Chain A
Amino acid sequence: MAIEVRIPTILRTYTDGAKAVNAEGATLSDLIGDLEVRHPGIKERLVDEAGLRRFVNVYLNDEDVRFLGGLGTPVADGDTVTVLPAVAGGMR
Chain B
Amino acid sequence: MLTISQDLVDKIVAHSRADHPDEACGVIAGPLGSDRPERFIPMANAERSPTFYRFDSLEQLRVWREMDDRDEEPVIIYHSHTATEAYPSRTDISYASEPNAHYVLVSTRDEDKVEFRSFRILEGVVTEEEVVIVP
Contact = CB atoms under 8 A, between A and B. Distances in A.
Interface of A: 8-10, 55, 57, 59, 62-64, 66, 82, 84-92
Nearest to A19: B68
A57 B99 contact: no
B116 interface: no
Interface of B: 23, 25, 43, 47, 49, 51-55, 57-58, 60-61, 64, 73, 77, 79, 81-84, 88-92, 94-100
18 contacts: A9-B73, A9-B100, A55-B95, A57-B60, A64-B61, A84-B57, A84-B64, A86-B57, A87-B60, A87-B95, A88-B47, A88-B53, A89-B89, A89-B95, A90-B53, A90-B89, A91-B23, A92-B91
B91 A90 contact: yes
Given A9-B99, A10-B97, A82-B61, A87 B81 contact: no
